[in-house]
């Protein structure tokens, strides 16, 4: 069973979809908690993981957006404020999407057509993790190209995740690797 | 901006009520100001209106229209003296009397903007009960009468069912967009909305006519694909679902310049609120939303710069944005301590 915490509820939902797809098992049991921002997650994340442990979770994912900060700094902060107070280091994956998890959608933007048929992207992002504010970039792209309905991350992100080419995401987003290693090999990334 | 101003129906405790609105439309900035002045004479209240409309040109403001009580002056039409009733709305009056195209073209963006400011209250429209048969079988005569009234004087509170039929008949793209937002690739609330029409050679129970058309509005809730989807009528939907349907229909159908939404969180599941607020944000531009809320679920999905604090003090309403210092502090607070709502609970509106 997996326990997932993230800054945003929609990020939790996306990660649930991707973990099940990576494991090729739709029946995996998962618990998740999305917060309203990183502050709340850093303050409450540790006690939430204790709850997940009591509920039987054996693998844990902490998703903390790098935004425009250094991914290493974010990683260290998550370890210091969430994992260290809890004390368990096995089977943990601290995921630090660069800059936001929406970069994974930009890695395979063609997947949006499965959910918003009128949107057939022509641009290919070879370095999606270099795009500033990818969430906003996606919504702006949808708005400026007058796609209907307009893309909204909280509504559409999890639907698109079901159609992402995960090999393409892995090839373009190095932040994806720790998640794949945890799911496929059972390896955490806590030093 | 309204069809009429009826001060007698309003208790006025102050000698002067002033509303000043600045807005941008068609790439220009405008200012619209209206003030209602009251005077007591011989134990009776008398009222007078003042209005002006200005457009920003560089660093200054040009007056387009100036009204003082019954006298209206229009820039560019100095030879024309307009005298209106004391409570006659200015713009409606000008458009009904002035034929100068240049003047009307200058005022049209203002009129369109103000005309499409819509208020959406919490409650369902009082004249329509969900169980009203008109909500699932609509006589085409009733529909076309509604359409005629709506096109001349749109009432944002009017029937959702009529708006859905209108979209189905005349705004197909918007109808499909609505269904997409509600369906399995969107909020997963209503899988499909189907509107069927049936023409009968004679009207049932009425004077016989050549043909009478009826519209049937059916809702199919989101279910797993291997289950047979049950058909629901409007009144079968939960209050929260009807509320959501009203909001999204309003956004797509009404083409408002400014939507005033009252407590959108009412009767909406907290999980759905996390999707609804970002969705509303996506549909900003060209529309603007002003939302009242008491809900942390709404507030925590917004940016601090978009929050306005409202309080009542000494019988007056105070409204303010967060100060520059508060905006700096809250950004760090959200990154390190808690949520936007947590922060707002700790400050006072009077702290300026």
Distance CA B196, CA B217 (A): 7
Residue with tokens 């991914």: A71
Same domain, A32 and A92: yes
Which two structure tokens, joined as six digits, stand for B106?
């200058």
Substitution target in A8, A11, A17, A37 with the highest count of B β-carbons within 10 Å is A37
Task: Give the pLDDT of residue B130.
Answer: 54
For residue A154, the chain B residues in CB contact (below 8 A) are 274-275, 277-279
| pLDDT for A155 | 94
Q: Are residues B169 and B201 in the same domain?
A: yes
| Residue B144 sits in the same domain as residue B194 | yes
Q: Are residue B169 and residue B234 in the same domain, yes or no? A: yes
Residues A49, A109, single domain; the answer is no
What residues of chain A have any CB closer than 8 angstroms to a CB in chain B? 9-10, 34-40, 42-43, 115-116, 139, 142-143, 148-156, 159
**B173 and B96, same domain (yes or no):** no
Residues B251 and B123 in one domain: yes
User: pLDDT exceeding 90 applies to what percent of chain A?
Assistant: 67
Closest residue of A to B332, CA-based? A39
Cis ω for the linkage preceding B286 (within 30 of 0) = yes
- Number of domain units in chain A: 2
Residues A31 and A80 in one domain: yes
What is the distance in angstroms between the Cα of B19 and the nearest Cα belonging to chain A?
Answer: 33
Residue A175 has what DSSP assignment? G
B280 in any annotated domain: no
Q: Are residues B111 and B123 in the same domain?
A: no
A113, A158: one domain: yes
Kindly state the average pLDDT of the residues A107-121. Answer: 94
- The structure tokens listed for A144 are 């400026």
Query: Do the Cβ atoms of A75 and A121 come closer than 8 Å?
Result: no
Per-residue pLDDT of chain B (352 residues; tens, 9 = 90+): 333 344 444 444 556 788 888 999 988 999 999 888 887 777 777 778 888 999 999 889 999 999 888 888 888 777 667 777 767 777 877 888 888 888 888 889 999 999 899 999 887 766 555 556 556 788 888 899 999 988 887 776 678 999 999 999 999 999 999 999 999 999 999 999 999 999 887 655 555 556 788 999 999 987 655 555 688 988 889 999 999 999 999 999 998 999 999 999 999 988 899 999 999 999 987 889 999 999 999 999 999 999 999 988 888 888 899 999 999 999 999 988 899 999 998 887 665 5
Show the 3-state SS of chain B. CCCCCCHHHCCCCCCEEEEEEEEEECCEEEEEEEEEEEEEECCEEEEEEEEEEEEEECCEEEEEEEEECCEEEECCCCCCCEECCCCCCHHHHHHHHCCCHHHHHHHHHHHHHHHCEEEECCCCCCCCCCCCHHHCEEEHHHHHHHHHHHHHCCCCCCCHHHHHHHHHHHCHHHHHHHHHHHCCCCCCCEEEEEEEEEEECCCCCCCCCCCEEEEEEEEEECCCCCCCCCCECHHHCCHHHHHHHHHHHHHHHCCCCEEEEECCCCCCCHHHHHHHHHHHHHCECCEEEEEECCCHHHHCCCCHHHCEEEEEECCEEEEEECCHHHHHHHHHHHHHCCCHHHHHHCCCCCCC
Answer yes or no: is A16 within a domain: yes
Whole-angstrom Cα distance, residue B132 to residue B136?
8
Note whether A94 and A13 are same-domain residues.
yes
ipTM of the complex: 0.85
Domain around A108: 103-166
For residue A156, being part of any structural domain is answered with yes
- The answer to whether residue B323 is domain-embedded is yes
- B97 lies in which domain range? 7-115
In a domain, A191, yes or no: no
Asked if residue B159 and residue B199 are part of one domain, the reply reads yes
- Is residue A94 domain-shared with residue A42, that is, in the same domain? yes
**What pLDDT shows up at residue B253?**
94
Instruction: Tell me: do A128 and A178 sit in the same domain.
Output: no
- Please say whether the dihedral angle defined by the alpha carbons of residues B100, B103, B104 and B105, taken in this order, is positive or negative: positive
Same domain, A91 and A66: yes
The structure's pTM equals: 0.85
Q: B128 and B251: one domain?
A: yes
Are A17 and A94 found together in one domain?
yes
Given B91, B115, B139, which residue is the final one in a domain? B115
Q: Is residue A34 part of a domain?
A: yes
Regarding whether B134 and B105 lie in a shared domain, the answer is: no
Average pLDDT, integer, range A71-83: 90
A190: in domain: no
Indicate if A7 and A82 belong to the same structural domain.
yes
């Amino acid at each position: 069973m997996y326990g997932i915490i993230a800054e945003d509820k929609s990020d939790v939902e996306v990660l649930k979809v991707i973990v099940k797809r990576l494991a090729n098992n739709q029946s995996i049991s998962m618990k998740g908690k999305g917060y309203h921002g990183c502050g709340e997650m850093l303050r409450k994340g540790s006690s939430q993981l204790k709850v997940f442990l009591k509920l039987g979770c054996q693998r844990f994912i902490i998703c903390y957006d790098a935004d425009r900060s250094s991914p290493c700094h974010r990683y260290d902060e998550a370890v210091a404020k969430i994992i260290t107070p809890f004390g368990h280091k096995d089977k943990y994956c601290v995921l630090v999407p660069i800059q936001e998890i929406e970069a994974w959608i930009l890695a395979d933007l063609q997947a949006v057509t499965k959910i918003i048929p009128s949107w057939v992207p022509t641009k290919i992002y070879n370095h999606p993790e270099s795009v500033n504010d990818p969430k906003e970039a996606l919504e702006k792209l949808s708005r400026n190209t007058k796609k209907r309905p307009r893309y909204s991350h909280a509504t559409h992100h999890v639907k698109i995740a079901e159609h992402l080419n995960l090999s393409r995401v892995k090839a373009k987003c190095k932040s994806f690797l720790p998640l794949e290693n945890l799911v496929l090999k059972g390896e955490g990334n806590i030093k | 901006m309204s069809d009429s101003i009826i001060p007698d129906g309003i208790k006025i405790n102050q000698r002067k009520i002033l509303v000043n609105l600045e807005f941008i439309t068609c790439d220009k900035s405008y200012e619209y100001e209206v003030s209602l002045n009251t005077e007591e004479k011989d134990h009776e209240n008398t009222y007078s209106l003042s209005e002006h409309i200005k457009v920003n040109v560089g660093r200054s403001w040009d007056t387009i229209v100036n009204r003082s009580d019954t006298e209206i002056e229009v820039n560019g039409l100095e030879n024309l003296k307009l005298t209106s009733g004391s409570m006659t709305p200015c713009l409606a009056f000008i458009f009904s009397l002035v034929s100068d195209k240049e003047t009307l073209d200058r005022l049209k963006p203002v009129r369109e903007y103000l005309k499409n400011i819509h208020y959406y209250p919490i409650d369902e429209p009082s004249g329509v009960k969900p169980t009203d048969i008109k909500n699932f079988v609509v006589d085409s005569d009733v529909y076309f009468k509604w359409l005629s009234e709506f096109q001349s004087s749109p009432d944002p509170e009017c029937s959702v069912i009529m708006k859905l039929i209108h979209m189905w008949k005349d705004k197909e793209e918007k109808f499909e967009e609505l269904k997409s937002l509600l369906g399995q690739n969107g909020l997963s609330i209503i899988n499909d909305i189907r509107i069927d029409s049936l023409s009968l050679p004679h009207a049932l129970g009425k004077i016989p006519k050549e043909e009478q058309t009826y519209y049937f509005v059916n809702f199919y809730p989101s279910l797993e694909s291997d289950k047979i989807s049950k058909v629901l009528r409007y009144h079968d939907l939960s209050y929260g679902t009807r509320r959501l349907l009203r909001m999204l229909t309003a956004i797509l159908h009404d083409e408002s310049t400014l939507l005033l939404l009252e407590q959108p969180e009412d009767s909406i599941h907290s999980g759905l609120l996390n999707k609804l607020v970002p969705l509303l944000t996506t549909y900003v531009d060209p529309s603007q939303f002003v939302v009242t809320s008491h809900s942390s679920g709404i507030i925590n999905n917004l940016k601090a710069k978009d929050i306005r604090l409202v309080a009542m003090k000494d019988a007056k309403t105070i409204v303010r944005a967060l100060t520059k210092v508060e905006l700096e502090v809250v950004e760090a607070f959200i990154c390190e301590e808690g949520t936007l709502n947590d922060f707002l609970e700790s400050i006072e509106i009077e702290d300026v």
